[in-house]
A and B are shown apart, each in its own frame.
Chain A
Protein backbone atom coordinates (compact mmCIF):
# COMPACT_ATOMS: atom_id res chain seq x y z
CA UNK A 1 0.00 0.00 0.00
CA UNK A 2 1.57 3.28 -1.13
CA UNK A 3 -0.10 5.37 1.56
CA UNK A 4 -0.79 9.02 0.79
CA UNK A 5 1.28 10.28 -2.12
CA UNK A 6 1.83 13.90 -3.07
CA UNK A 7 3.45 15.63 -6.00
CA UNK A 8 5.58 17.52 -6.64
CA UNK A 9 7.80 17.17 -3.59
CA UNK A 10 9.46 20.54 -4.07
CA UNK A 11 8.75 23.50 -6.27
CA UNK A 12 9.74 27.13 -6.64
CA UNK A 13 7.41 29.82 -7.94
CA UNK A 14 7.48 33.59 -8.15
CA UNK A 15 4.97 36.04 -6.74
CA UNK A 16 1.78 36.27 -8.74
CA UNK A 17 2.09 32.84 -10.28
CA UNK A 18 -0.31 29.96 -9.79
CA UNK A 19 0.44 26.50 -8.48
CA UNK A 20 -1.32 23.13 -8.48
CA UNK A 21 -0.45 20.44 -5.97
CA UNK A 22 -1.67 16.87 -6.24
CA UNK A 23 -2.58 14.17 -3.76
CA UNK A 24 -3.56 10.51 -3.98
CA UNK A 25 -5.14 9.23 -0.80
CA UNK A 26 -4.42 5.92 0.80
CA UNK A 27 -6.25 3.04 -0.82
CA UNK A 28 -9.83 2.84 0.43
CA UNK A 29 -9.86 6.37 1.87
CA UNK A 30 -12.47 8.70 0.45
CA UNK A 31 -11.87 11.95 2.33
CA UNK A 32 -8.94 14.26 1.70
CA UNK A 33 -7.86 17.24 3.78
CA UNK A 34 -5.22 19.83 2.98
CA UNK A 35 -3.03 21.60 5.51
CA UNK A 36 -0.47 24.38 5.27
CA UNK A 37 2.56 24.25 7.54
CA UNK A 38 4.74 27.33 7.65
CA UNK A 39 8.25 27.05 9.03
CA UNK A 40 8.22 26.64 12.80
CA UNK A 41 4.42 26.36 12.98
CA UNK A 42 1.94 23.55 13.30
CA UNK A 43 -0.15 22.54 10.28
CA UNK A 44 -3.19 24.72 9.61
CA UNK A 45 -6.36 23.32 8.06
CA UNK A 46 -7.16 24.63 4.58
CA UNK A 47 -10.14 22.51 3.49
CA UNK A 48 -11.56 19.03 3.30
CA UNK A 49 -13.08 17.19 0.33
CA UNK A 50 -15.54 14.35 0.36
CA UNK A 51 -17.63 13.03 -2.51
CA UNK A 52 -16.00 15.59 -4.80
CA UNK A 53 -17.27 18.53 -2.75
CA UNK A 54 -15.60 20.92 -0.35
CA UNK A 55 -17.12 20.04 3.01
CA UNK A 56 -15.24 22.26 5.42
CA UNK A 57 -12.92 25.18 5.04
CA UNK A 58 -10.41 26.85 7.31
CA UNK A 59 -9.50 30.51 7.44
CA UNK A 60 -7.87 30.77 4.02
CA UNK A 61 -8.68 33.24 1.22
CA UNK A 62 -10.41 32.32 -2.01
CA UNK A 63 -7.03 32.19 -3.73
CA UNK A 64 -6.89 28.70 -2.29
CA UNK A 65 -9.16 26.31 -4.11
CA UNK A 66 -9.35 22.61 -4.60
CA UNK A 67 -10.91 19.72 -6.37
CA UNK A 68 -11.57 16.08 -5.75
CA UNK A 69 -11.87 13.55 -8.54
CA UNK A 70 -14.05 10.44 -8.75
CA UNK A 71 -11.04 8.27 -7.82
CA UNK A 72 -10.75 10.34 -4.58
CA UNK A 73 -7.50 12.01 -5.60
CA UNK A 74 -7.36 15.75 -5.02
CA UNK A 75 -5.73 18.95 -6.15
CA UNK A 76 -4.93 22.13 -4.30
CA UNK A 77 -4.68 25.29 -6.39
CA UNK A 78 -3.24 28.56 -5.18
CA UNK A 79 -3.57 31.65 -7.34
CA UNK A 80 -1.71 34.97 -7.20
CA UNK A 81 1.03 33.54 -5.01
CA UNK A 82 2.40 35.66 -2.18
CA UNK A 83 5.70 35.30 -0.38
CA UNK A 84 3.74 34.21 2.68
CA UNK A 85 2.40 31.19 0.82
CA UNK A 86 5.83 29.57 1.12
CA UNK A 87 5.20 26.48 3.23
CA UNK A 88 4.91 22.73 3.35
CA UNK A 89 1.53 21.69 2.00
CA UNK A 90 0.30 18.47 3.51
CA UNK A 91 -2.44 16.24 2.23
CA UNK A 92 -4.11 13.81 4.60
CA UNK A 93 -6.63 11.08 4.00
CA UNK A 94 -9.02 9.69 6.55
CA UNK A 95 -7.59 6.66 8.21
CA UNK A 96 -8.84 4.12 10.67
CA UNK A 97 -11.44 5.20 13.15
CA UNK A 98 -10.06 5.53 16.67
CA UNK A 99 -11.78 2.78 18.61
CA UNK A 100 -12.37 4.92 21.69
CA UNK A 101 -13.20 8.41 20.48
CA UNK A 102 -14.73 7.40 17.18
CA UNK A 103 -12.63 10.04 15.47
CA UNK A 104 -11.03 9.23 12.18
CA UNK A 105 -7.29 9.36 12.40
CA UNK A 106 -5.59 11.16 9.55
CA UNK A 107 -2.67 9.78 7.59
CA UNK A 108 -0.46 12.44 6.08
CA UNK A 109 1.53 12.43 2.90
CA UNK A 110 5.13 13.62 2.86
CA UNK A 111 4.04 17.03 1.60
CA UNK A 112 4.88 19.44 -1.17
CA UNK A 113 7.34 22.14 -0.20
CA UNK A 114 6.52 25.39 -1.99
CA UNK A 115 8.93 28.30 -2.09
CA UNK A 116 7.65 31.60 -3.44
CA UNK A 117 10.33 34.10 -4.49
Chain B
Protein backbone atom coordinates (compact mmCIF):
# COMPACT_ATOMS: atom_id res chain seq x y z
CA UNK B 1 0.00 0.00 0.00
CA UNK B 2 1.32 3.43 -0.94
CA UNK B 3 1.93 5.87 1.89
CA UNK B 4 -0.30 8.54 0.37
CA UNK B 5 -3.00 7.68 -2.12
CA UNK B 6 -5.13 10.08 -4.13
CA UNK B 7 -7.94 9.89 -6.64
CA UNK B 8 -6.28 8.99 -9.94
CA UNK B 9 -8.11 11.67 -11.93
CA UNK B 10 -8.04 13.55 -14.17
CA UNK B 11 -11.03 15.68 -13.28
CA UNK B 12 -12.54 17.70 -16.11
CA UNK B 13 -15.13 20.18 -14.88
CA UNK B 14 -16.89 23.31 -16.15
CA UNK B 15 -16.26 26.70 -14.64
CA UNK B 16 -18.28 27.25 -11.49
CA UNK B 17 -18.37 23.57 -10.55
CA UNK B 18 -17.53 22.25 -7.10
CA UNK B 19 -14.70 19.72 -7.06
CA UNK B 20 -13.65 17.38 -4.27
CA UNK B 21 -10.28 15.68 -3.95
CA UNK B 22 -9.78 12.75 -1.62
CA UNK B 23 -6.62 11.38 -0.10
CA UNK B 24 -5.73 8.62 2.34
CA UNK B 25 -2.47 8.05 4.20
CA UNK B 26 -1.17 4.83 5.70
CA UNK B 27 1.14 5.96 8.51
CA UNK B 28 -0.77 6.84 11.66
CA UNK B 29 2.32 8.70 12.91
CA UNK B 30 1.73 11.38 10.29
CA UNK B 31 1.63 14.72 12.04
CA UNK B 32 1.19 17.46 9.47
CA UNK B 33 -0.90 17.59 6.37
CA UNK B 34 -0.89 19.83 3.34
CA UNK B 35 -2.27 20.36 -0.11
CA UNK B 36 0.20 21.55 -2.71
CA UNK B 37 -0.62 22.77 -6.18
CA UNK B 38 1.62 22.11 -9.16
CA UNK B 39 1.14 23.80 -12.51
CA UNK B 40 2.33 22.05 -15.65
CA UNK B 41 6.15 21.83 -15.73
CA UNK B 42 6.44 24.02 -12.62
CA UNK B 43 7.42 23.38 -9.03
CA UNK B 44 4.89 22.44 -6.32
CA UNK B 45 3.60 25.34 -4.26
CA UNK B 46 1.82 25.19 -0.94
CA UNK B 47 -1.91 25.70 -1.34
CA UNK B 48 -2.91 25.24 2.27
CA UNK B 49 -2.19 23.36 5.45
CA UNK B 50 -4.85 21.00 6.74
CA UNK B 51 -5.90 21.36 10.37
CA UNK B 52 -7.72 18.80 12.47
CA UNK B 53 -10.67 21.12 12.90
CA UNK B 54 -10.91 21.77 9.18
CA UNK B 55 -9.99 25.05 7.60
CA UNK B 56 -11.13 27.29 4.83
CA UNK B 57 -9.34 29.78 2.60
CA UNK B 58 -11.72 31.53 0.26
CA UNK B 59 -13.12 28.98 -2.17
CA UNK B 60 -10.92 26.20 -0.74
CA UNK B 61 -11.85 23.99 2.21
CA UNK B 62 -9.63 21.29 3.68
CA UNK B 63 -10.73 18.56 6.05
CA UNK B 64 -8.80 15.97 8.05
CA UNK B 65 -10.13 12.80 9.65
CA UNK B 66 -7.34 11.26 11.73
CA UNK B 67 -9.38 8.21 12.71
CA UNK B 68 -9.95 7.32 9.07
CA UNK B 69 -6.56 8.70 7.96
CA UNK B 70 -8.36 10.68 5.32
CA UNK B 71 -7.80 14.17 3.92
CA UNK B 72 -9.98 16.13 1.55
CA UNK B 73 -9.90 19.33 -0.44
CA UNK B 74 -13.02 21.04 -1.75
CA UNK B 75 -12.89 23.76 -4.39
CA UNK B 76 -16.07 25.77 -4.85
CA UNK B 77 -16.93 27.91 -7.86
CA UNK B 78 -13.93 26.61 -9.78
CA UNK B 79 -12.06 28.99 -12.07
CA UNK B 80 -10.04 28.37 -15.21
CA UNK B 81 -6.97 29.34 -13.18
CA UNK B 82 -7.60 26.42 -10.80
CA UNK B 83 -6.45 24.03 -13.53
CA UNK B 84 -3.40 22.26 -12.09
CA UNK B 85 -2.33 19.08 -10.35
CA UNK B 86 -3.24 18.91 -6.67
CA UNK B 87 -0.83 16.99 -4.45
CA UNK B 88 -1.78 15.57 -1.08
CA UNK B 89 1.19 15.73 1.30
CA UNK B 90 1.86 14.35 4.76
CA UNK B 91 4.76 14.88 7.11
CA UNK B 92 5.96 12.50 9.80
CA UNK B 93 7.88 14.10 12.61
CA UNK B 94 10.63 11.85 13.92
CA UNK B 95 11.72 12.65 17.44
CA UNK B 96 10.60 16.22 17.11
CA UNK B 97 12.36 16.91 13.84
CA UNK B 98 10.31 17.73 10.83
CA UNK B 99 11.06 14.67 8.78
CA UNK B 100 10.45 14.69 5.10
CA UNK B 101 7.32 15.35 3.07
CA UNK B 102 5.56 12.38 1.52
CA UNK B 103 3.63 13.25 -1.61
CA UNK B 104 0.75 11.54 -3.27
CA UNK B 105 0.80 11.02 -6.99
CA UNK B 106 -1.41 14.04 -7.53
CA UNK B 107 -4.78 14.56 -9.17
CA UNK B 108 -4.99 16.66 -12.29
CA UNK B 109 -7.81 19.17 -12.56
CA UNK B 110 -8.87 20.80 -15.81
CA UNK B 111 -11.49 23.53 -15.58
CA UNK B 112 -13.16 24.24 -18.91
CA UNK B 113 -15.05 27.38 -20.00
Contact = CB atoms under 8 A, between A and B. Distances in A.
Interface string A24-44: 000000000101000011111
Contacts of B105: 40-42
Interface in A29-81: 33, 35, 40-45, 48, 55-56, 58
Interface in A83-117: 90, 94, 98, 100-111
B45 interface: yes
B14 interface: no
B49 A100 contact: yes
B31 interface: yes
Contacts of A109: 43
B102 interface: yes
Contacts of A41: 105-106
B44 A108 contact: yes
Interface in B9-55: 31-34, 42-46, 49, 51
Binding site secondary structure of chain B: strand
B60 interface: no
B44 A56 contact: no
A45 B43 contact: no
B100 A110 contact: no
Nearest to B34: A105
B80 interface: no
B69 interface: no
Contacts of A106: 46, 101
B100 A56 contact: yes
A44 B87 CA distance: 12
Given A43-B103, A103-B91, A110 B42 contact: yes
8 contacts: A40-B105, A42-B103, A43-B44, A58-B100, A90-B44, A103-B32, A103-B93, A106-B46
Q: Which 5 A-B pairs have the closest CB atoms?
A: A42-B103, A103-B32, A108-B43, A45-B100, A101-B32
